[in-house]
Structure 1
């Protein structure tokens, strides 16, 4: 069954209209839906653990929209950065890679 499952689960057609905005490690990702009826919402991708793509939900079961997701990520990054000594914040090209947590950006991962 696995040989039939993987091509379906990992088909590029399943993520048309979406871009990766965060990698969570071990190939887990979060996607921003940029077209269609789910536009503006965040979807969780744990296919690496044999879980299907699904909407990211908040504590009340409501879909998480991009602005809410981004603000939460940014606030967490600010708190983390405030806890790091200033001498450890900067590398050769600016902020040290990985300092703010999971990679964020189109195609990250």
Structure 2
């Protein structure tokens, strides 16, 4: 992770190869839509690249850190989609009553 934090693209490539399947697996279990899951997983991998300097080995493994970020991002996506649906339903209900 130190190499990734210092911008080493080869180190990130190795990290990506090692973690992308795990990240996607976590995200797809939460989001359930393959296309959205691919998008969220890609966002997570970009986060890992950008936040590499924040990783602390004493707080857990890289895998655990990545899994936590993936799960949080996936839950955020589901909540965002639900909120959008709720807004649409509320708007439709308002339009129906007027």
For normalisation by structure 1, the TM-score amounts to: 0.33
The structure richer in helix per residue is 2
Which structure has more RCO (C-alpha within 8 Å, separation ≥ 6)?
Answer: 2
For normalisation by structure 2, the TM-score amounts to: 0.35
